[in-house]
Amino acid sequence: PPGDKLLHVKDKGWDRTAYLEVPASIVANNFIKYGMLDSNVVFAKGFFNETMPPLSKRIKKLAVMRLDGDMYESTVDVLYHLYDKLSIGGYVIMDDWTNFPSKSACEDFFKAHGIQPQIVDIDGASAYWKKTEEVEIQYW
């Protein structure tokens, strides 16, 4: 599809990358494979900016957030809607940390909220950090 002219400047071109799409059946099969599919799992098909607002109203607490949005805006959508739901001692796992706009989104989020997490490299491309303090989300 043609690129979206309204995208954040750091996302230009990423919206036309078809390999970033993953069918819900593959995601569900991965949950089944690792024995993690139960009644607490909710799949929200759609764009992050459309699915995060209603999900954030349903979710009370999270222990782990695994982000695989690749793009700047999708990462911001998740962080701004769910980071305050992440428990102290909980973890954020970023699938795309190195050379992806999502890293820049995290760094901007950290700066806006005075967060200085210890980023731990996983495999040269992914990373994680532990939430160590409550954060009051500062919306733009």
Task: Flag the least confident range among 3-7, 16-20, 113-117.
Answer: 3-7
Average pLDDT over residues 89-105: 91
Quick one: how many helices (H) and strands (E) in the chain?
A: 4, 4
Angle between helix 48-58 and 72-82 (nearest 10): 10
Selected residue with higher pLDDT from 15 and 100: 100
Structural tokens at position 96: 């795309």
Q: pLDDT tens-digit profile of 29-61?
A: 988 999 989 988 888 888 888 999 999 999 999
Which domains, from first to last, does the chain contain? 46-131 (3.40.50.150)
Confidence of residue 6 (pLDDT cuts 50, 70, 90): low
Distance CA 83, CA 8 (A): 21
Q: Which one, of 117, 101, 104, 113, lies nearest residue 140 by Cα?
A: 113
DSSP letter, residue 4: P
Cβ neighbours of residue 71 closer than 8 Å, sequence gap 6 or more: 7, 8, 10, 11, 14, 15, 100, 101, 102, 105
Q: What are phi and psi of 4, to 5 degrees?
A: -90, 115
